[in-house]
């Protein structure tokens, strides 16, 4: 399907992936140097140039939709064509169009000190391009999660290097070949390869490094980037909790949670991982959840809409977590359709699986599952739920199903997560102007909208004065009696003001009357 009006630079079959090709780690420094020289020679690009680069980035995707869908289908083994076009490609359109629309406005300097201008001081804050931005993409959404941050980096005036995931090798190679036809490598370079290339990429002296992936790999990325003091944005994951409120519409909650768990076969960083349900409603919740999942998937093995585990390693990891939980006493319910034997190693498909009676010593209780498996826990008191969540690494998102009442507000105020979504999957990501990012183990930094532009910019303060006298005459020696008296009076005044504020509030202080 070719939905664009731009003519393709070459026939689609010329971009059939040649799996096994890899960027030589020694080439990475040369690519970076070429981009940096081009960046310095050009200077901050105009808004028109930035928008034109965003346009070509989007054209690279929209001109080649069929090729990308086919590549991702080959990478996953089974992945819905419609699902890929909807989540992977349509999902990037709105944020990119929003970024393009506002690029010129975001570029304008801010003037934060009108009072200073009245005294002869002028201050502006200029969003300055960083230079060369490195982006390391994941395998679960291998195209969208490099293209969207690249558009933000272009809007901020940068050059971009992308390291594609080697797990989705067909998509990686296709992107590399297409990028070379839509961009000069001094603007955008896409590199491919395995862990050796990835490790070398993280050690480059980039101006910013943006990584989407697991928390474990994120630690290595940050450690490597620190050697060159490269600032990083880490978009990670975590075990995302769900709370079904005591007064929630149980049928609606079960329906929506079932669908959310199965997006991309559960291989989404914002998928629900475990659900707290009121103990007196848990049986009905599980019955409804079971019925909904069976209705959604009357067949699995021959169902092209049922996304497979991306590779054998991930398939075996999920199966291993489930079997370990079974051996430790958890109640496992695998919802395989009648006549189908699952899990199936050849198809890399695992039936929707509900797990109860989970204990904290089980690895599945602590590791992000990233598959079609959902843990279900009973609760009787919301404080217990809050304590459970807070005792663990902060998730990327926490979900609440139920009305917006005091208990929901208490949950929001007393838990820590990258975002909160109530009554629907991933809606905290929908707003084009709301930041998206994690906290703690689920990430650092954020992007989307203006936040993405700011992430890839340096907010550079430019101050000036035409005053006929030197402001530094107050601070530089020799100091006269007037300066000494001014400093003493100013500090005594500040001390008295602060003493009034803290009177009776310091540890051990007598209470005020």
- CB 42, CB 50: distance < 8 Å: no
Dist. CA 31–CA 25, nearest whole Å: 10
CA distances to 99, 107, 211, 450 from 133, rounded to whole Å, are: 17, 18, 11, 17
Tokens of 175: 């992107």
- Against a cut of 0.85, is the pTM above it? yes
- CB 395, CB 389: distance < 8 Å: yes
* Catalytic residue check, 271: no
Dist. CA 461–CA 463, nearest whole Å: 6
Q: What is the pLDDT of residue 354?
A: 98
Tokens of 193: 């390869």
- CB 215, CB 235: distance < 8 Å: no
Distance of CA 208 to the CA centre of its chain: 15
pLDDT string in tens for the chain (513-residue length): 333 333 334 333 343 334 556 778 889 999 999 999 999 999 999 999 999 999 999 999 999 999 999 999 999 999 999 999 999 999 999 999 999 999 999 999 998 866 666 567 888 999 999 999 999 999 999 999 999 999 999 999 999 999 999 999 999 999 999 999 999 999 999 999 999 999 999 999 999 999 999 999 999 999 999 999 999 999 998 899 999 999 999 999 999 999 999 999 999 999 999 999 999 999 999 999 999 999 999 999 999 999 999 999 999 999 999 999 999 999 999 999 999 999 999 999 999 999 999 999 999 999 999 999 999 999 999 999 999 999 999 999 999 999 999 999 999 999 999 999 999 999 999 888 899 999 999 999 999 999 999 999 999 999 888 888 777 777 788 888 888 898 999 999 999 999 999 988 888 766 655
Q: What is the pLDDT of residue 510?
A: 62
- CB 340, CB 372: distance < 8 Å: no
Name the DSSP class of 64: T
| E strand residue ranges, 222-316 | 232-235, 241-244, 274-278
Q: What is the pLDDT of residue 18?
A: 44
- Helix axis angle, 47-62 to 144-155, nearest 10°: 170
Beta strands 443-444 and 420-422: pairing type?
A: unpaired
Q: Which of 173, 269, 271, 368 is catalytic?
A: 269
Q: Which of 88, 235, 271, 368 is catalytic?
A: 235
- Residue partners of 373: CB distance under 8 A and separation at least 6: 266, 318, 321, 322, 350, 352, 353, 355, 364
Dist. CA 483–CA 505, nearest whole Å: 34
Dist. CA 437–CA 417, nearest whole Å: 9
From the list 110, 126, 197, 215, the residue with the least C-alpha distance to 161 is: 197
């Amino acid at each position: 399907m070719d939905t664009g009006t731009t003519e393709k630079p070459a026939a689609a079959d010329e971009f059939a992936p040649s799996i096994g090709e890899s960027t030589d780690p020694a080439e990475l420094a040369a690519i970076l140097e070429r981009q940096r020289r081009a960046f310095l020679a050009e200077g901050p690009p105009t808004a028109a140039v930035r928008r034109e680069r965003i346009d070509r980035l989007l054209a690279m995707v929209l001109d080649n939709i069929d090729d990308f869908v086919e590549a991702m289908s080959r990478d996953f083994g089974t992945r819905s064509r419609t699902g890929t076009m909807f989540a992977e490609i349509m999902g990037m359109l709105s944020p990119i169009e929003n970024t393009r629309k506002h690029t010129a406005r975001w570029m304008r300097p801010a003037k934060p000190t009108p009072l200073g201008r009245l005294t002869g001081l002028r201050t502006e804050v200029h969003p300055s391009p960083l230079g060369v931005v490195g982006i390391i993409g994941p395998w679960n959404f291998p195209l969208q999660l490099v293209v969207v941050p690249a558009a933000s980096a272009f809007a901020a005036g940068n050059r971009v290097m992308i390291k594609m995931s080697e797990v989705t090798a067909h998509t990686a190679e296709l992107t590399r070949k297409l990028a070379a036809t839509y961009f000069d490598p001094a603007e955008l370079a896409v590199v491919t390869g395995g862990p050796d290339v990835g490790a070398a990429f993280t050690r480059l002296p980039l101006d910013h490094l943006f990584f989407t992936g697991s928390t474990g790999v994120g630690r290595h990325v940050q450690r490597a980037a620190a050697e060159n003091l490269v600032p990083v944005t880490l978009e990670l994951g975590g075990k995302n909790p769900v709370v079904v409120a005591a007064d929630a519409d149980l049928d609606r909650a079960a329906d929506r949670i079932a669908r959310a768990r199965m997006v991309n076969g559960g291989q989404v960083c914002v998928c629900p991982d475990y659900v707290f349900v009121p103990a007196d409603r848990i049986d009905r919740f599980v019955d409804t959840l079971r019925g909904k999942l069976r209705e959604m998937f009357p067949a699995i093995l021959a169902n092209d809409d049922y996304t497979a585990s991306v590779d054998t390693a991930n398939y075996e990891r999920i199966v291993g977590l489930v079997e370990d939980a079974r051996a430790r006493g958890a109640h496992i319910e695998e919802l395989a359709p009648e006549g189908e034997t699952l899990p199936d190693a050849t198809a890399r498909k695992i039936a929707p699986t509900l797990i109860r009676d989970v204990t904290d010593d089980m690895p599945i209780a602590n590791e992000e599952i990233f598959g079609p498996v959902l843990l279900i826990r009973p609760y009787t008191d919301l404080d217990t739920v809050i304590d459970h969540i807070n005792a663990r690494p902060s998730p990327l998102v926490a979900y609440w199903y139920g009305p917006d009442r005091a208990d929901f507000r208490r949950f929001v105020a007393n838990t820590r997560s990258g975002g909160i979504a109530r009554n629907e999957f991933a809606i905290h990501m929908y707003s084009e102007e709301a930041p998206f990012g994690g906290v703690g183990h689920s990430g650092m930094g954020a992007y989307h909208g203006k936040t993405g532009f700011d992430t890839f910019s340096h907010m550079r303060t430019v101050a000036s004065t035409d005053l006929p006298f030197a402001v530094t005459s107050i601070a530089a020696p020799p100091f006269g009696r007037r300066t000494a008296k001014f400093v003493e009076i100013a500090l005594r005044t500040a001390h008295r003001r602060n003493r009034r504020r803290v009177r009776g509030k310091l540890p051990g202080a007598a209470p005020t009357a």
